[in-house]
A = this chain, B = another copy of it.
Amino acid sequence: MSGYDPRIDEMYFLLSEVLHGPSELARLKPFAELDADLILQILEEAGKFVRGVIAPLSQTGDAVGARWHDGDVTMPPGFKEAYQAFWTAGWPALATQVEDGGQGLPSVLEALLYEMLSAANHGWTMAPGLLHGAYECIKHHASDQLKSEYLEKLATGQWLATMCLTEPQAGSDLGLCSTRANPTADGRYTLTGTKIFISGGEHDLTDNIVHLVLARLPDSPPGPKGLSLFLVPKFYPDGSRSAVQCERIEEKMGLHGSPTCVLRFEEAASWLVGEPGRGLNAMFVMMNAARLHVALQGIGLLDAAWQIADAYARERHQMRAPGKRTPSKNADPIAEHPAIGRILNTQRAWIDAGRTLAYKTAIELDRIRYGTPAAREFAQNWCALVTPVMKSAFTQQAFHGGSECLQVLGGHGYIREWGIEQIIRDARVTMIYEGTNEIQAIDLLVRKVLADDGKGLEGVLDFLAADRPAELPGRARAAQRIDAMRDITRQIIHLAPANAELPYQIADDYLRAFALILLEWSWIRIGATVNADPARDLPRWREPATAFEQWVMPEFQMRLSIIEHQFGLVTT
């Protein structure tokens, strides 16, 4: 069944008409020549590749899975050929630098590409998904020697890469990592230790795999400041194999197309990347981009689930829908039943608003790189605050909203045939990796909002308040909610210094409230665009807009109530 079909027209409408993406990008120097037609053409080609090559491998990838044998990993049928087609067509190189062999196109196009890839086949997409962080990390921190050996291979995707962070005793708390790095006489280091949960730690997609590994130098202090970053490839430039062993791959709830490896490093010769003790900084250089991509996985997976549910609800006839009493039929399409219509429109509301925010954030990532100083400052702040929100909100929505879509199919959703239960199983991990959603909430409130006394947050809220078209009916209500967000933030800032636990107790609610404020901005922006164009298909956009206001936005007041209740406990 399945067969995710990216709706390029809808994605492009949000990017181009709602966000004015092409003209915004054209203001950035490297993209001055990039016109809207070319952007659309690239997206359409990407859609064709995803639909024709990647989507058809998803269900087999789940059913067969990656297989471990004696240290080697065989990927599911067709995965290798698809990857070879992918990199030789230049897709991994879309947004890497021209000087490294890339195409130098905007990050936002890469973002849309990965949304589609994840929607079509999350398991397959894990392998190239990790490439971009490794590329940036090496580009910004590695020695010229390492760059000359590895950068082009990674920029083009000819080789793939891993990020080796987690250890059995060190997950959210990487400061507990104990993998050791000992210097050797030749200026290299031997790595010894075990890393777990390494996506793509071993596979047969590419000739080589480049591992970036967090480890501890001798006499380094305990905790995160004692960690340095090292590079060790599967095969060294001389063709010899490194002492990195894939001990096993995990049996998981889903994502069977992506091998989750236990890697054992046995005095593996490696090189330092960046400065000693600055390993986490080097690795987190691309954290916003990586977390945004996880949010886009969530959006893509939810869209894939929605497509299946929508198609099913139009075909499946059960009972008369209330208010439809024409005697000619004995059942209506379930899409016409209010409970089902609500699910479909509500999840559509999340997807459309999420795309708008994610694409906007990806454009801001391009601005961080190429914008004017003022634009760069705004963009840095936007990405710092919005990224953890997107990561948390849309990975949660992929699982919970995807489960709602499964519910549309009833028992048929629970069986494998329709492909929707796989989406839910695959999606579940996105709430965990790249920083659990609880970590995202703490990142937002403690490390971002409280760290600068709410100034950055005020900047984002000022933008949202100013950007709203005055004529829309929801404007006044939205402005009140923004003010409520400001108020509650000020109260938290006021109470936090005397209550160490308070921010941690309300971080989740705070993130959810802010997410809703951001999503409301998306819907106001979409609404204004749709209203301005009489040729638009109004019900397509108005039904999710209404669903958003009726069934999504009421959570905002609930979150504020929960936070305020917590204030009461603190102050009494």
Residues of chain A touching chain B, judged by Cβ–Cβ distance below 8 Å, are 166, 169-173, 175-176, 196-197, 222-223, 250-253, 260, 317-319, 322-323, 330-331, 337-340, 342, 399-400, 403, 406-407, 410-417, 421, 424-425, 428-429, 431-433, 436-438, 441-442, 500-501, 503-505, 507-508, 550-551, 554-555, 557-558, 561-562, 565-566, 569
Contacts and interface: CB of A to CB of B under 8 A. Distances in A.
Contacts of A421: 252-253, 428
A416 B251 contact: yes
B438 A339 contact: yes
A508 B554 CA distance: 15
Contacts of A171: 318, 410-412
B173 A318 contact: yes
A414 B253 contact: yes
A410 B318 contact: no
19 contacts: A169-B317, A171-B318, A172-B410, A173-B319, A176-B331, A250-B417, A251-B415, A251-B417, A253-B416, A253-B421, A253-B425, A322-B504, A340-B438, A342-B508, A406-B428, A411-B432, A411-B433, A421-B428, A558-B558
A551 to B, nearest CB: 6
Contacts of A339: 438, 441-442, 504, 507-508
A506 to B, nearest CB: 9
Given A331-B176, A500-B323, A550-B566, A413 B442 contact: no
A429 B403 CA distance: 11
Residue with the highest number of chain B CB atoms closer than 10 Å, among A196, A414, A417, A503:
A414
Contact of A424 (B330, B406, B428, B558): B428
Contact of A407 (B175, B412, B432): B432
Given A253-B425, A562-B551, A342 B432 contact: no
A405 to B, nearest CB: 12
Copy tally for this chain in the complex stands at 2
Nearest to A406: B428
A569 B507 CA distance: 34
A436 B424 contact: no
Nearest to A437: B407
A546 B199 CA distance: 40
Given A318-B173, A410-B436, A554 B562 contact: yes
Contacts of A551: 562
A561 B565 contact: no
Contacts of A436: 407, 410
Contact of A252 (B252, B416, B424): B416
Given A425-B425, A500-B323, A415 B250 contact: yes
Nearest to A339: B438
Nearest to A324: B500
A442 B342 CA distance: 14
A123 to B, nearest CB: 13
Given A323-B501, A433-B411, A438-B339, A557 B550 contact: no
A431 B407 contact: yes
A214 to B, nearest CB: 16
Contacts of A562: 550-551, 554
A432 B410 CA distance: 6
Given A342-B505, A413-B432, A557-B557, 19 more contacts: A171-B410, A172-B410, A176-B331, A196-B411, A251-B415, A251-B416, A253-B415, A253-B425, A322-B504, A337-B504, A339-B442, A339-B504, A403-B428, A406-B428, A407-B431, A407-B438, A410-B432, A414-B428, A554-B561
Given A413-B432, A438-B407, A330 B175 contact: yes
Contact of A322 (B441, B500, B569): B500
Nearest to A503: B322
Contacts of A260: 415
Contact of A399 (B403, B557, B565): B403
Contacts of A196: 411
A269 B170 CA distance: 63
Contacts of A424: 253, 428
A430 B557 CA distance: 31
Nearest to A253: B421
Given A339-B438, A421-B253, A508-B339, A414 B432 contact: yes
A570 to B, nearest CB: 12
Contacts of A319: 172-173, 175
Contact of A411 (B197, B222, B415): B197
A565 to B, nearest CB: 6
Nearest to A412: B171
A176 B196 CA distance: 52
A250 to B, nearest CB: 4
A406 B425 CA distance: 13
Contacts of A433: 411
Contacts of A441: 339
A166 B411 contact: yes
A333 to B, nearest CB: 12
Given A339-B442, A406-B428, A252 B414 contact: yes
Contacts of A442: 339
Contacts of A223: 330
A330 B554 CA distance: 41
B416 A338 contact: no
